[in-house]
Structure 1
Amino acid sequence: MKKKLVYILFLIGFIGLAQEIPVSIATDTTAIKIGEQIQLKITVNETNNVIFPKLQLDSLRKVEVIESLPVDTLKNRLEKKYLLTSFDSGQYVLPKQQVIIGNKKFFTDSLLINVTTVKVDTLKQKMFPIKSIKKEPKTLDDYKYLLWWLIPILVILAIVLYYIFRKKEKKETQKIYVTPINEALQRLKELDEKQLLEQNKIKVYYSELTDIVRTYLEKDMNIPALESTTNELIETINDFNESSNLGISKETIKQLKEVLQSADLVKFAKSKPVIDEIKRDRTIAENILKNTQNAVQIKQDELVDDNVQEIIVSQKSPIKSNNIFKKYLIVFITTIVLIVSVLGYFGYKYVKGKSIEKTASEMLEEKWYTSSYGSPEVTIETPKKLQKQTIEIPENLKSIIQSQTTYNYGSLTGNIYIEVTSINFVNELENFSYDTGIQAILQQISQKIGAKFTGLHEEIRVNNGVEGRIITANYELENKITQQQNKYKFTLLFFANTKNIRQILVTQLNGDDKALEVSNRIINSVSLKP
């Protein structure tokens, strides 16, 4: 009786142990023909802290993985599916697959896959004549070689048009006569505008003041005023005044001597006159210029030819309106030449790919990229590789946020926008709330794009054992070109704990089936590293 009891307890324990193994593996078929697909499914009766394997294939490497599908979260379990195929006939054994749940390792059963060839009856098979090669439709890139002939032709045409329509602007010269007195008075006005006295540059002020007076005297009276000392200049003026009967008063000559001596004291003896004395010397200098005008009037006829400064001013003839049209025509032709040159050198497809946003249909047809971003990693499949953005953490948050990385593609106002952000905290956060975090993100994005979210919906989402939320909403933005409201759909995957936050944002035009297909493919491809 005791032996039976022991046997029953052992049997129950064995059954209980078998039930504890929460991992199973299954396929939709184990026998295929060459090139057909098998759907392999690993089921785990657990939803937390599960790491699925990188599939171990047969030892001969004859079985290939076509696609590793995202993990499906069901009520109380997780399912991971793989699409397999083989192009060699035979029987192949897939070894046991390792699945980690928590810190424990579990193994699935091994599988036997039978791949057979396709039988072809060459006797009964009807023979058909060989078809000719079908030509693909011509594209702009096929005519690229012709553009290299078109470019020089357009350049030559633009040059010819330029020389035909160019009209030289006739320059008319006009002589403007400026008398020495007018030149001197103008220089005095400019000296006042420099505000040298306000800047305490008294030495510079007196140097320019005496230079104006000496230059005027040299031009007006034909005496070496600039190279003479003060005493030599005064003696020369006295002699010239008496011999030529200019009629300059002795008082004017006396005042000139006083102004020049004051300037000499400032420049060479470092004298610092008061502001009233400086202004008095400025007034006296102007009076000296005006009092010597009689000399200009007496010998006006001689001085017009010899001492008058001639300033030649070039005046452009007015441009006619038809010349403006011709210039615009040349600019237009040059622009066309540049556009054709760029298209000819790089090709239409390259230029379009660099300058014009791709449509959702084009994204689905082209190659997609599977990459990992941030730390902890977020693996995602996208139509274009995401570009890293430089994010500076504000000073008041550096004590909380240790690091933040953001990768994105597209625009929030374009067809498709993708953004992956990872944030790590310095210390573990206390009392973390999903609702608070999600509301903060929604508010930040709403302020950034200037739109309000409607139809907000939230669900729990578990990805590789990491619990999070998936939030969908709608919003509208005005198109600045068409002045119409564009409707967008907003999808946010938000995974967070007390140590870090990972969020995946995807937006697309609402009502566009292809854009929705792109968005769903991106969201379903998300895989988090636990």
Structure 2
Amino acid sequence: MKLKFYIFLFLLSSAIFAQQKQVETSIDTTKNKIGAEFKLTLKMVVSSKSKVVFPQLKTIGPLEVIQSYPVDTVKKNDTYELIKKYGLTQFDSGKYTIPGIKILIDKKPFLSDSIRVEVANVKVDTLQQKMYDIKDITAGDNGISDWWLYLLLAVVVIGFGAFVYWFVKKRQQKKIEEEVYKTPIEKATSLLNNLEQKELVQKGEIKEYYSELTDIARNYIEEAIHIPAMESTTSELIQAIRTASTKKKMALTPETVENLERVLRQADLVKFAKSKPLDFEITDDRNKIQKVILTLDNAIPTEVPNEEDELLNEAQRQKQIKIQLRKKRNKRIAIAIGSVFLLLALTTAVFIANKGFTYVKDTILMNPTKRLLEGEWVKNEYGNPGVLIETPKVLKRMDALKVLPKETMALIKEMQLFTYGSMTDNFFITVSTSKFKKPVELDLAKTLEGSLKVIEAQGGQNIIVKQEDFQTNEGVQGLKGYGTMTVLNPVDKTSAKAYYEILLFKQDQGLQQIMILHEEGDSYANDITTRILNSVELRKASN
């Protein structure tokens, strides 16, 4: 696609745009003020049987259509003279080209001539205009505030994360030793005390109270007597305790077992039958559980552990403490990281609200054209006659001769093309040079029109074109065409608004062209374009 982009660039204007002279084109004035009306007139003579269709346009090239006048018809013998006028205007000063308009005569297209016009600024009468004092100098932003802002943000985030980590660690450290107990009775007694501190009964949470109360008793029985108490029903548990009492020779009275059974069944009624015991019954049940646990603990035969068993138990206890510490540490880290991310999210939201999303995106995510602008530039000479130019990246040579048509080859002795990117990329630049076999007189305005038509054939749509004279730093004169267009992506069929600039320079036996295209409104791409164009130096064509 890049190569085809330049297929017709070097054809002479007469060869490119030659058409049958059917439409006469004229304009009332070629120079006007901003906002003033240009009257474009199209005149043609057709037979009485011919059907002529004039386009309904909102814009003609870079000019806006403010009035489409009715067609005037003058009968002359067997022919008709048709006169169509368009009222055009432009609100930016500069030199513009009104492109040809396609008119259908008996379904055959005919193109009007293009006309160059100039829009001038309105002069201001400084003698009548009231003058005002010069405003005081205002200090600009030197960028230091942003640096301090980032530093302050980093300090706040790190400090906040450290505080959260310390606070959670301090609270959890107090619980670690409490959660790792030496004996089952110590654990059960501590949990019973904690249960009372929760004040579930006072809050009316009777079901939760009985559930925790019986879980404490079942856990103790499971750990101390080694009965699967948590998985057993009330009947199974009572039967297992009686069996264990016989095997382990535990001195248990029938009253102890009956009290445990009574409380367990009361808990079953509360949990499953929605029973509501009175306050004194709840207190009595709690006391019974505590007494049962103490009685069971006293009834278990005391075994004198040997030194190895004590060391093993202590090692297991220390291992359990380490596991608990690791879990708590991981939890503290997770809480601290979550808090930091939350703070970052809030800070980022405030930062975006103050600076704008574009600033944050370009700074943090690094806009592609921003990377080009701030990267290492290269200065190189391309083609013959040479174009010395500074670019963000080295331009790659493309073999354009393989696709040139025969009529072009008949005129061109040598052609070279160098590019970076493509029309659908963030930034696209091409440099092309050519040498003709014989001296030719090129019309740069016509060459520019030919280039734009090729761009249109390659996916450029709604092309708005302005043109003006251009001069390099060495004083070499050329033509500059610039404006906007819509670029169609052939892959995903999406379109984007783009800005372009084309520079054309002619020599006795050579032509040099530079084209730049990028997304419209990209400030970094605009800076790249300005730097590139300011670096242009041209060489004379050599034989």
- TM-score computed with the length of structure 2 as normaliser: 0.30
- TM-score computed with the length of structure 1 as normaliser: 0.31
Which protein has greater RCO, CA pairs closer than 8 Å, 6+ apart? 2
